[in-house]
Each structure stands twice: as C-alpha cells, then as structure tokens.
Chains A and B, each alone.
Chain A
Amino acid sequence: MTLLHALVLLPALGALGAAVHRTEAYRTGWLLVIAALHLVLTGLAWTGAPPPTLGGWIALDAIGLIVLTVVSVLFAAVAVYAVGYLRRENPRGGRAFVSCLLAFLSAASLVALSHHFALLWIGLEATTLAVAPLIFHRHDRRSLEAVWKYLMLSSVGIALALLGTFLLAASQSVSGDAVRPLVLEDLMAGAPQLHPAWLKAACVFLLVGYGTKMGLVPLHAWKPDTYAVAPGLVAGLMAGVLTMIAFLGLTRITQVMIAAGLGGFVTPLLLTFGLASLAVGAAFIIGQSDLKRMLAYSSVEHMGLLTLGLGLGGGSAYGALLHAVNNGLAKGLLFLTAGNVVLAAGGVAGDQRGLLRRAPASAILLLAGLLAVAGSPPFGTFLSEFTIVRGAFGAGHPWIGAAALLCLAVAFVGMARLIVPMVYGTSAEPGGREARGGENAWLVAGPVALALGVLLLGLFVPPALQRQLAAAAAVLGGRAP
C-alpha cells in the first residue's frame, strides 16, 4: 500500500477505531496519533512525488500537495485543540465527535488526492456528511436548524455537482474511447477534443455545486448560521479545510476549461462570483455582533478573493493559491480562538470585554488573527493579497483591484469594531460579559501554532512551496509574479 493510500485509509481506520473504542482518553489519544501520522505522511509526500495509483484515479500534483498540506496542518492543530475542548464540553463521550473528525480528514485527503472527478465528488459528499454531526454537537434547536439548512443547501449543491460530473463525462464521450473517463490527466491531454457544449454545461453545474460548498455569494446562505452554532474547532475545520477542498474542485474544472481553450467562458463567471462574494462578505461584516458569524462573512469574502484570483489568472492565480494557504491558517486561528473566548467567558463570542486581563493568550491571538485575516504585514495574507491585487492591475483590471482593496478596507473596519473592544477595556463595560479565565495549554497551542505559521509565511515562503505554487499556477494559466 502506497503513501497515497495511507493518507486516505489511515484516518478512515482511525475513524473506525475511535468508533469502537470504549474509553474516551484512548479516543482523544487516537485522534492525536492519527493527526500526527497524517502530518508525517504529508511531510513524506513533499520529499518526492509518489506515483499515481488506482489507474491514475489517485495521484498527487502541485495543487493537490498544497491542499493536502493545509488540510493536514490545520487538522493537526484542530486535533490538539479538540483534546482540550472535549475536556470542557463533551455531552456524549465524544465518540461520534472524534470518529467524524477522522472520517472528515480521510474524505478531505481523498479530495486532495483524487484525479478523478467522480472520486473528487465522492470525497466532497463524504465531507458534507461527516461534518453534519460535528455541527450538531450541542444538540439544541439552533444547531438543528443550522444543520438542516447546511445539509439541504450543500446536498443540493452536491447533486448539481454530480450532474456536472455526468455532463463532463458526456463531453468526453465524443473524443474516442481510448481515454480513461473523468481522469484529470486524460481530460487535460484530450482537452481540445472535448465537446465544448457539454463541457460548458458541465462547468456551469460544477461551478454551482462546488461554489455552494465554498460558500460563494449567492450560494453562501448556510455559512453564517452554521459557523455561528458549530463548535469553534468545527467551524475552523469548515472555514479552513472544507472551503479549501471545494476550491480545489473549482480549480480542477477551471484547469480543464483552460486546457480546452474555454478560459474565455469560465473567467467571467469566476470574476462575477468573486466580486459578488467579496462585496457581500465585506458589507455584511459591518455591524455583526457575533464573532463567529462575522468570521463566516469574512470567509465568504476571502472565498471571493480566491475565486477572483482564479479568474484573473496570471500572477493573481499564484496569489490565490498562496492566499488559500494563508486564509486556511488564519481562519483556523480565528475560529479556534473564538472557541476559546466562548469557553472562557461563555455566551456568544462577541459580547465579552477586557479579555486582555482575563484570557490574555486568547486576547492576543484575537488581535493577531484580526491583523492576519485583514492581510496586514507581516502576516502571509499580506503577500498573497498583494500578489492578487497586483495581478489584477497587471491583467488590466484596475477596477477589480480597486474594488478588492475597498472591500478589504470595509471588512477591516467592521472586524476591528467588534474585536478591539472585546480585547481591551475591562469586563465592567456596559453590555460587556464578565470574561473568566480558563485557558489551558491544549486550547492555546493549536491557534498559537497557526498564528506562527501564517506569520512565518509573511516573512519566508519556503522555496519548495514557491516551486509548487508556481507549478500549480502554471496549470491555471498563471505564473509566479
């Protein structure tokens, strides 16, 4: 069994193991071990590209490697956090919780590795199913509503994506039977022979399908509610990993379209979705009173930025991929911290005051997260956003660049107005909730690691990563700036 199999099967087995295990301590330990192993395997994947398996259905290319790394790193941070979390808030022994987490990891890895559109789709559907119980962890009416809404919307999306996949297969049927159907390499190779009519239709439905999972406006409606009720770490996984792999689906179809010379068809769609998401996300950040809700809109905004970069191509595509990494880390950081705030002070994250006194680590992490997600130097998000915007101007879309910057500014105002008062002041503020302490190492380690990661990426992007980014961007008609 090769490395690639291991990356998928290990977490799957872990999920089973967690499901059967009796005692909780084992279960959390199990979680940590699997996360660590997965991290190690991912590291191995960097050392040399492993050969494709399953007749090319599973392979690892540059984009896949980048996504896989984000998935693995973020999951490791979440796993560490989960240990602390389950000690504090654990209604039902956390059996379902841990095994769903691991199942999610397995599915996400599958998506990252699959070079077969049907397999990709399966992986995405599996993640959707695996996350549902996690969101529903608290078993109250609000989370029930959120889950229902999430499942309904994303399964509609998934269904449309399946239709898109069928259409893609249909587009291939025209071009001889020598090709392996729906296998990425063959699609790319035979792209010119693909039937454009079917291909365009496929593109449209895949865009809607995966766009729904990414949460692009106007398909984003599930995001605020879901992120608001889901436990911090689950929201972090969704904002960091789920959106990331959905974005991978988007890049896959985009790359086929570009190879087929239909870039002119997909680009306007990407730009439209991107700008809409940016604008709506930014506008709705203003005046949110619930931190996690606000972060959901911020996630919408940044998905818009990614889509925009994808649509702009050129240096922006490179920037978008880099931003996918940075945004994943930053969102993980913020959601985990938000979870901490809720654990420390109770209530909705957002009505606490004076955290700097009561929960200093979380307070500082909140500030760092605010700056990181706002793309201010020296955080990595700055480099990626700058690259995207620069690409926009380079590609002759000055207004898009300007609009993006405007949205980022508006978003920052909104976020600062919520977060700064939470961090500073005293808990005696009017309308302020008494902030209690209660951070422990497990709860702080994860976000701190993520913060350091996104900070490091602002000062030093490892050459290896740069190479992979360049390679990935090249496939998307982009280039290193």
Chain B
Amino acid sequence: MPQLFFAGLSVIVAGGLAALVPSRTPGRMERVFAALVAAGCVLVALAALRVLVGGDAWEVRVAASVPGGAWVFGIDALSAFFLVAIAGVGAAAAVYGATYLAAERSHGGVPFAHAAVAVLLVTLALVVTARAVVPFLLAWEVMAIANFLLVMFDHERADTRRSGIIYLVATHTATLTLIGMFAIWSASAHDLTFASLARAASTPAAGLGAVLVLALFGFGVKAGFVPLHFWLPGAHAAAPSHVSALMSGLVIKTGIYGLLRVIALAGGAPEWCGWTLLGLGVVSGVLGVVWALAQHDIKRLLAYHSVENIGIILIGMGVGALGTAYGLPAVAALGYAGAILHVLNHAVFKGLLFLGAGAVTRAAGTRRLDALGGLGRLMPMTWLAFLLGSVAIVGLPPLNGFVSEWMIVQALLGAGLGKGAIRAAVFGVAALGLIGGLALACFTKVNGVVFLGRARTAEAAAGREVGPGLFVPMLGLAAVCTLIGLLPAFVVRPALAAAEVVIGGDAGAHTVDPGTGAAWVGAAAAALIAFAAMGWVAYRVLMRDRSRVVAQTWGCAFSNPTPRMQYTATSFAAPVLEPFGAVAGLSVSHQGEEYRTHPRDPWLEGVILPAWRRLRAAVARAQELQLGRLHVSLLYVFATVVALLWYLASRQVP
C-alpha cells in the first residue's frame, strides 16, 4: 500500500525538519522530532507488515526526468522484512537519540544530527524499496553521506576524523564499484529498472560473473565482512551511540540486502558464489569475534561483533546459494531464511547493545572497559537490557539469536545430507560452534567487567541509572528479543517468504515446514524460562526462614581486596586469545611491572594503510616529472606533435 509507506516517510522527514526548528524551551523540538519519527516508523512498519502478512506486494512507477527511464519503488516480502527491522530499530534509536544528545546541546550540531538521523532512516527505507538503478544509487549514497556526517558529529577528536575519512573513502569506493556493476549489467538492458536488469540477466551479454564479483565487493564494503571490514570498527566507535546502533543494526545490513537483491535479480547465484559467501562468512565470523575479544573499548568490541554476525549471515546466504545451485530448494529456503532472520535479530540485539553502551558511556564517562565495573547495581534497567542483549547475541536459548542460528544450522545439515560437493558445506556447523563459544567468552567478559564486581574508577562508581528516555527504548528492544525467542513461528514464516523472493518462485514453500520445528524451539524456550522460574521460587521458599549472612568476598585468606585487584578485561580474554597467536591482533607491552595489550586490526594497520602510504610515495616520485618547468612542458608538447605526426604517417596510405 504505497500511500501508507510514503506517508510514513514524509512523517519521518517532517520529524527531521522539526528538529531544525529553533525553539526557546530546550528539548521541546527534540521531543517533537522523536514523536514524529517514531510515528513515521510505525506507519512504515504497518505498510511492510501488510505485505508480509497480506502478501500483496506492490510497485509504483515515478516518471522521472533523468536519463535511464522511470523510477520504480516497491515492497515485496524481502523489502518488507528489512523495512520492519528498519522501522523498529530506527524508532528506538531516534527516541533514544533525542534524549542522548540533549547532553551536548552546547555542541550546536545537535539539531543537524537529528535531521541527519531522519534522512538516514528515510534513505534506508528507500534503499530497500527502490526497484531501479538510479533511485537505488541515489538513496544508497545519500544514506552513506548522512551516515558520514553523523560519524563526524564529534569531529574535534582526531581519531574521529581519521575514522570518518576512512569511512567516507571506503563507502564512496563501494558506490563506485556498484556504479560499475550496474553499468556492466545495464549495458545490455533496455532501461535501468530492476525488472529489465532481471530480463537482461538471462542474456550472456550481462557478464554476470563480473557483476557478482563487483556486487560482492561493493555491497561487501558496506556489510563489512572480512577483509572489507576495515572501516567499520573505527566508524562505529566514533559515531554517537544511537548512530552506532543504526549503523550496526541497519546500515551495514543494506549491504546484505543488496547482495540478496542482486542474487534474486540474477536468478540465483552460481556455485562459486555460494562457496565464496560461505568461506567469507566463516572467516569473518571467526576473526570478527576473535578481534572483538581483543578490544578494550566497549564500542569497538561491539563493532567487531557486527563483523562476526555479518559472517553468520553470510554463512546462511552461502548455504542458501549452494542450495539453489545444487537443486536443493529446502536447503536454499532455510539458508536464506536463516540469514534474513538473523539480519532482523542482529539489528535488534546489536541496536540494543549499542544503546546500552551509550548509556554506560553517559553514566561513567568512558568507553574503556577496564575503567568500568559494578554498574549493574547502579543502573539495573540498563544492565537488564544489556544482559538480555548479550544472551541473544551469543545465540543462547531462550532468546532470538538462537532461533536464526538454529535455522542456519539446519540448512547446513540439509546441505550435508544432500548429494555431491555441497555436503562439504556441513563443516560450517563447526564454525558456528566455535563462533558461539568465543562470543560467549567475549560477552561474559563485557558483562562481568562493566556491570559486575566493583567499580574500578571513581567515575564508574559515580555512575547513575539513565533516564527512561534512554532505557525504555532499550527495554523495548529487549522485549522484542524475548518475544522472537518465545514465538519464533511468527518470524520464521515471513523470513521464509522473503527467502522465496531471493530464490525466485515459491521453491521453498512446500519443501520446508517451519511450523513444528519453530514451535518446538519456542516451547523449549518457554520451558526453560518456566524451569528457571520454578527453580527461583523453590529457592526462595527454601531460603524463606533463613537469615542471610553478608560478608566480604572470600579472598582466599587475603583480608581486604581492592577493586584494582579484580580481573580485568585484558586478563579475562588472554587465555582465550593466546592460542590464536598473531591472528588475534594483540600487541603486548611490558613497562616495569605494568603489562598492557593493545588491540590493532591486523588488516587495516598491517596491510591497507601501509599499501596506501606506498602508493603515495610512488606518486610523489612520479611527480618529479612534473615540476612545472616550462621547457619540460614544451618538450611534452613537442613530443606529442611528433608522436601524432608519426601516427598520421602510419595511418596515411597514399
């Protein structure tokens, strides 16, 4: 239902404009902004749900006066699924942001930041609904630019500027790659709508191989899987927390959406593409979580977990692509559906976690893990939300992260039980296991070091619970995590519908019965919660009439432990990281009795930046030829004339 959708977008835009309106009473316009954006997101979500539930996909054509034909927008199950994620997380982040940035009103950029958030949300929605090259690329780049401006919000800090430039360069290069991709593809198409791209895909002239490679690069940079993740951690850490939530939850997912859409238009990805996706998924899944373990900065840590989760999503997509390539529709459906569902799940719990990180940063004034501690008792709401988010991201029952991982595992098993080379894909299960185990280590570390034990610094000790403006959105997202965990069937079916868009036709429809399995998972989650609750009650009853003895923590005969004696994040992660050696990207330094580890991204610091420096040096050498001496320039002219005369002579047949 186009009207609803575009109405929603315009309401969001109105919200953005409202943020720019100066008002005498501070915060009024921010509230208006939050309300309008939330309302707009609700409308967009409704429009999407109509398609997901009702199944009536639509397309509208806008006659645009630019070369390349009409602009088409539309919502099908795939777009709708992404739209739901965008609307949900977007609303939460916007509401959160309205309060979160209030502390920095002196900064002056705050209204513009809010407006940029609105623009970001609108362009996100347009990216996943555009059905023609030009509007897609327009929305795509405007999204990137708005995102860049938001990353630069705190631009007085040098590292922010550095991250911002790296981000800008990366994203623009990605856009150029996409331009190249669409150029190749559309060269044989008769106009630039996705429909005719799909038609052209059947012709060999389309050069689908090149298209897919370019798509992998262009969308891959946005999605941020290894080795294209280099921009991601810095940018996520530099941006304001609610923006980090939007980036990690939504923006990088547009890369995934782009890949899925390209696969859908190309009529399925070939075998090599499936294996590539799977391989990339395993690599970035494992490396992402390993590098996350090495971090000392809570936001960088979460950012690396985005790399990890993109890896999990890619594993699902890879096995899905292999499913189609090997004619196993059920595997394809499960794989793609698992990936798509994980997109939603990750959007929710990673958004939640970044918002939590923001709350912690506000409360304790630092992002350094080893400077925090004991915040759990000071900010119980944030702690609860963050804990739920952690359980979800580790993929533990009874929350939503488990559901999507379960689906992906099933797809992998299906591949393993298939015929031919595809069976090798089953090793992906092991990768998922390893990833899960490492993620558990990482998030026990975060929760333990940030929220448990005792405060390591005075600032942390002074931390107070944030206002409802911050924790209500977090709790809302946490509730979503729990609901999806308890009632998976309600999301699994739409995910399968979206997967069918990718596969084309209703190949997966009859082969997969999501109902029973999902119902079991939900039941198990419920049972678990019930058991735990019963245990808790029983425990209460048992302890009812016993007095509680409260003492100091047992220090193994050491009388008075101080907060500084607590286990730090570094020491917690050390034994897990040690086996990974150099891959872990930790550089260790001893100063006297002080022992520090410095996380460094082996790819960015070790490969990309040195390569760039070498290029600059080479160019500097080349510029020696070009010192602007007049006679040299004249020599060039002379040489050109001679060369051209020679060409002339060679082309003159009397």
Contacts and interface: CB of A to CB of B under 8 A. Distances in A.
Contacts of B647: 204, 269
Contact of B176 (A287, A408, A417, A481): A408
A481 B190 CA distance: 9
A81 B510 CA distance: 68
Given A221-B626, A284-B626, A287-B616, 9 more contacts: A156-B634, A383-B66, A383-B67, A389-B179, A401-B183, A417-B169, A458-B66, A459-B66, A459-B138
Interface stretch (A235-243, A244-252, A420-428): A420-428
A337 B484 CA distance: 53
B295 interface: no
B342 to A, nearest CB: 30
A392 B179 CA distance: 13
Contacts of B619: 283-284, 286-287
Contacts of A200: 648, 651-652
A118 interface: no
Contact of B156 (A221, A412, A425): A425
A460 B637 contact: no
B637 A417 contact: no
B264 interface: no
A377 B137 CA distance: 7
B298 to A, nearest CB: 25
Contact of B644 (A204, A212, A393): A204
B168 to A, nearest CB: 5
Contacts of B644: 204, 207-208, 269
Contacts of B152: 424
Contacts of B134: 377, 383, 386
Interface stretch (A64-72, A147-155, A169-177, A182-190): A147-155
Would you list the 6 A-B pairs with minimal beta carbon distance, nearest first?
A221-B633, A393-B187, A424-B155, A218-B636, A394-B187, A377-B141
A144 interface: no
A409 B628 CA distance: 26
B63 to A, nearest CB: 11
Given A204-B648, A412-B172, A148 B180 contact: no
Given A204-B648, A208-B640, A385-B179, A377 B142 contact: yes
Contacts of A402: 180
B27 to A, nearest CB: 24
Given A153-B634, A222-B633, A420-B165, A394 B172 contact: no
27 contacts: A153-B630, A156-B637, A160-B641, A197-B654, A200-B648, A200-B651, A208-B640, A284-B623, A286-B616, A286-B619, A376-B172, A376-B175, A377-B138, A382-B137, A389-B179, A390-B182, A392-B183, A393-B183, A401-B184, A408-B176, A409-B172, A412-B173, A416-B172, A417-B169, A424-B161, A425-B158, A458-B66
A219 interface: yes
Contacts of B524: none
Interface residues of B, number: 61
Contacts of B636: 218-219, 221
Contacts of B626: 221, 224, 284
A76 B153 CA distance: 36
A398 interface: yes
Contact of B65 (A376, A425, A466): A466
Interface in B65-84: 65-68
Contacts of A286: 615-616, 619
B188 interface: yes
Contacts of A222: 633
B107 to A, nearest CB: 11
**B interface, over-half SS:** helix
B146 to A, nearest CB: 12
Interface in A445-481: 458-463, 466, 480-481
A409 to B, nearest CB: 5
A218 B68 contact: no
Interface string A130-153: 000000000000000000110011
A211 to B, nearest CB: 8
B190 to A, nearest CB: 10
A481 B67 contact: yes
Given A208-B640, A383-B66, A405 B176 contact: yes
A interface, size bucket: 35 or more
B158 A221 contact: no
A393 B184 contact: yes
A409 B161 contact: no
Contacts of A212: 637
Contact of A153 (B66, B168, B633): B633
A236 B587 CA distance: 50
A383 B137 CA distance: 10
Nearest to B160: A424
Contacts of B140: 377
Nearest to A379: B141
Nearest to B171: A376
A413 B142 contact: no
A137 B51 CA distance: 65
B496 to A, nearest CB: 34
A390 B66 contact: no
Interface string A185-229: 000000000000100110010011000100000110110110000
Contacts of A221: 626, 628, 630, 632-633, 636
Contacts of A463: 65
A461 B183 contact: no
B447 interface: no
A442 to B, nearest CB: 26
A359 interface: no
A280 to B, nearest CB: 8
Contacts of A376: 141, 145, 172, 175
Interface string A397-413: 01001100100110011
A390 B183 contact: yes
Interface string B588-613: 00000000000000000000000010
A459 B138 CA distance: 9
A201 B644 CA distance: 9
Contacts of B175: 376-377
Interface string A244-266: 00000000000000000000010
Given A393-B187, A461-B65, A386 B179 contact: yes
Contacts of A382: 137-138, 141, 179
Nearest to B68: A481
A59 interface: no
A225 B632 CA distance: 14
A181 interface: no
A80 B91 CA distance: 45
B137 A149 contact: no
B482 interface: no
Contacts of A393: 183-184, 187
A426 B141 contact: no
A356 interface: yes
A371 B168 CA distance: 10
A469 to B, nearest CB: 8
Contacts of B182: 386, 390
A318 interface: yes
B628 A225 contact: yes
B168 A265 contact: no
A462 B67 CA distance: 10
A413 B647 CA distance: 36
Interface string A278-300: 00000110110000000000000
A157 interface: yes
Nearest to A378: B138
A374 interface: yes
A149 B630 contact: yes
A152 B647 CA distance: 25
B186 interface: yes
B155 A356 contact: yes
B628 A460 contact: no
B164 interface: yes
Contact of B161 (A148, A322, A425): A425
B129 to A, nearest CB: 16
